[in-house]
Amino acid sequence: DLTARHIPDAEKPFQVIYHLYSFPRNVRWRLKVNLAEGEACPSVVSVWSAANWMEREAYDLVGVRFEGHPDLRRLLLPEDWEGHPLRKDYPLEFRYNRWCEKHLNMIEFREGTEYSGRFE
């Protein structure tokens, strides 16, 4: 398994975590790679083909780039989506997004109106 997380107060705020298991040896390993803002993690797709989707998911939702990935593009969100929703600095309230206006015909909600973008 492979996942990524954002730790905003850390010196290197991004972490890629690999969970590996050896069936013949019945041994588990957890490998953590800490990354600075803008730093890429080497892709493991050439060794572990299933990592293709997991690396794309980590890129899409957290913003971690994988150097040498054969097809690093968004997996769950549209290509023109702005931001990475699993980052801790991603706003929780609705924010104006050009993608929403273009594809969902949504207009910007005005602050202080009934639909100000704050959902409870």
Q: Where are the beta strands (DSSP E) in the chain?
A: 2-6, 14-22, 27-35, 41-42, 66-67
Residue 62 lies in a domain: yes
pLDDT at site 82: 85
CA distance 45 to 69: 7
Note whether residue 114 is domain-resident. Answer: no
Does 40 fall in a domain? yes
What's the CA gap between 84 and 63, in Å, rounded?
6
pLDDT score of 4? 98
pLDDT at 81: 85
Model-level pTM? 0.78
Measured distance CA(63)–CA(14) in Å, rounded: 9
- Per the structure, the complete domain to which residue 48 belongs is given by 2-72
**Are the beta carbons of 58 and 2 closer than 8 angstroms?**
yes
How many domains are contained in the chain? Answer: 1
pLDDT by position in tens, the chain (length 120)? 999 999 999 999 999 999 999 999 999 999 999 999 999 999 999 999 999 999 999 999 999 999 999 999 999 988 888 889 999 998 877 666 677 777 776 655 555 555 555 555
